[in-house]
Amino acid sequence: MIIEINKLKKIYAGITVVDIEQLTINNGETVGLIGNNGAGKTTLFRMLLDLIRPDAGEILSKGHNVADSDRWKKYTASYLDEGFLIDYLTPEEYFIFIGSLHQMGVTEVMDFLRTYEEFFNAEILERGKYIRDFSKGNQNKVGITAALMQQPELLVLDEPFANLDPTTQIRLKAHLKLLKSPGLTTLISSHDLNHVTDVCDRIILFEKGRVIKDFYTNENTLEELEAYFSQ
């Protein structure tokens, strides 16, 4: 069990946006968080990364409250939005910076990036542009790759498929499947039911901050979800 959430609550302007009684994520699981806009997925991620303070309850990562110590940062990599990128750097500079935070040298970073050449589709490296001048999809690629480069035990991605071109979506999906291992726990939020059910072993369905459904995927999952969302 890597993540344990107890009685977690976040209230904005009188409206409860996250309200989770009890939720545990096991080591090695790939979990998809789905739900319509306002379901509280991003807020949950932000609390998990200690970016916002819960109004009540706690999130334990490997048994330690994320709000109390920075221990989780060592094994957690995340990409939520462009706010995670340093947009006045070139992608290379950004990767090297992120690498340096995890004691990776320049050559190590470059070696790692070489394995992502296909994913980048020749659109990221050596383009002579700052990150702010890239399209949203390519910015996403930079953010996701930077997260993967940290070789985390816990990977948190908020809507990784959004803004990506179809080829890259398929490549990312395949790659996430390939990365699956007992040592990597992945949390993905997405609006694309197809992709989530394809990649994830477990689906957690949110509505207005509450967990509505929590189940392991099988061949009927997609139909069930489609039925739920078309109500």
Task: Please pick, from the candidates 84, 110, 162, 179, the single residue that binds other proteins as defined by CB under 8 A.
Answer: 84
Q: Is residue 198 a contact point for other proteins (CB under 8 A)?
A: no
Task: Please pick, from the candidates 4, 55, 87, 192, the single residue that binds other proteins as defined by CB under 8 A.
Answer: 87
Judged by CB under 8 A, the stretch of 19-27, 96-104, 111-119, 196-204 that binds other proteins is 96-104
| C-beta separation of 16 from 57 below 8 A | no
Site for other proteins in 127-166 (CB under 8 A): 128-130, 132-133, 150
Q: What residue ranges in 72-115 does DSSP mark as E strands?
A: 76-79
Task: Please pick, from the candidates 14, 63, 83, 182, the single residue that binds other proteins as defined by CB under 8 A.
Answer: 83
| C-beta separation of 221 from 195 below 8 A | no
Task: Please pick, from the candidates 23, 52, 170, 222, the single residue that binds other proteins as defined by CB under 8 A.
Answer: 52
| C-beta separation of 78 from 49 below 8 A | yes
Q: Is residue 215 a contact point for other proteins (CB under 8 A)?
A: no
Q: Is residue 90 a contact point for other proteins (CB under 8 A)?
A: yes
The CA-atom distances, in angstroms, between 127 and each of 92, 109, 116, 131, 164 are: 10, 17, 15, 10, 18
With a CB cutoff of 8 Å and minimum separation 6, the contacts of 8 are 18, 19, 20, 23, 44, 47, 54, 56, 57, 58, 59
Task: Please pick, from the candidates 4, 55, 58, 81, the single residue that binds other proteins as defined by CB under 8 A.
Answer: 81
Judged by CB under 8 A, the stretch of 16-24, 26-34, 48-56, 184-192 that binds other proteins is 48-56
Query: Rounded to 5 degrees, what are φ and ψ at 8?
Result: -80, 130
What CA–CA distance (Å, rounded) separates 78 from 64?
18
Q: Is residue 112 a contact point for other proteins (CB under 8 A)?
A: no
What CA–CA distance (Å, rounded) separates 31 from 154?
11
What are the residues binding other proteins (CB under 8 A)? Answer: 46, 49-53, 70, 73-74, 76, 78, 80-90, 92-93, 96-98, 100-102, 128-130, 132-133, 150
